[in-house]
Amino acid sequence: MSITTHQTIADGHLQADGRRYIRHEFTDHLGGIISVGPKKVDGAWTTTEYATERSGMVAGIETQLSEGEEARLVEELESGVDVLARVQAPTHSTTRRIVRKLIRHMMRQKNPYLVLALEPLLVYLRANYTGAQLKTFLNINTAQLQRLNTRVNSILNNKTVLTDFDANAEDIQ
């Protein structure tokens, strides 16, 4: 979820123009190392200047890690992988951000199988949140919540038709 340590590795010698190459390394909470660089900087930079530059990069790197995780989960959902266990225990993002991303993706794609894949999550949300809480949790307005409910209800009410169709499609081939 966060960068735990970071350091700068500077090239041991100056270039002809008086600058040196540096590389920043960031370690996340899982021990993964993210390396940024090499970058050419003024050879007179001090440790404080290195630390200031690194500190300014931490938020951006954390954002990249969480957005990358969310994008991978959307891709896996599209390919039929069960992502619900990873939604409950994300490594870099938050469950709330991932749920928002998956539900918005599901609504944009208009793919009924995505609703079926997310059915346990949708049932959980409906059982544990009021309409007002869902609007806040998903950061949507009343009209969007109504469209979401209508879509989910229509697909889940016809779930047997969709799954029977898939089962029969294999017999036809």
Q: Are residues 109 and 167 in the same domain?
A: yes
Say which range, 27-31, 112-116, 164-168, has the weakest mean pLDDT. 164-168
CB–CB of 2/27 below 8 Å?
no
Query: What pLDDT was estimated at residue 68?
Result: 92
Q: Quick one: 15 and 64 in the same domain?
A: yes
Which single residue is written with the structure tokens 């938020």?
A: 59
**Host domain of residue 47:** 3-70
Asked whether residue 80 is domain-assigned, the answer is no
Instruction: Please report the pLDDT score of residue 27 as a whole number.
Output: 92
Number of domain units in the chain: 2
Question: Is residue 123 located within the same domain as residue 57?
Answer: no
Please, what is the Cα angle at 36 between 59 and 76, to 5 degrees?
Answer: 70
CA-based radius of gyration for the chain: 23
Measured distance CA(96)–CA(115) in Å, rounded = 18
141 pLDDT higher than 50: yes
Q: Which residues of 56-81 are buried (b: 16+ CB within 10 A; e: fewer)?
A: eeeeebbeebbeebbeebbeebeeee
pLDDT of residue 116: 85
Task: Kindly report the pTM of this predicted structure.
Answer: 0.73
Q: Are 41 and 110 part of one and the same domain?
A: no
Q: Is residue 35 part of a domain?
A: yes
φ and ψ at residue 137, rounded to 5 degrees? -60, -45
Is 158 within a domain? yes
Measured CA to CA, the distance from residue 101 to residue 73 in angstroms comes to 9
The answer to whether residues 118 and 167 belong to one domain is: yes
**What three-state secondary structure class fits 36?**
strand
Within this chain, do residues 167 and 131 fall inside the same structural domain, yes or no?
yes
Is-contact 162 116, C-beta < 8 A?
A: yes
How many angstroms separate the CA atoms of 145 and 137, rounded? 11
What does the pLDDT average to over 20-29? Answer: 90
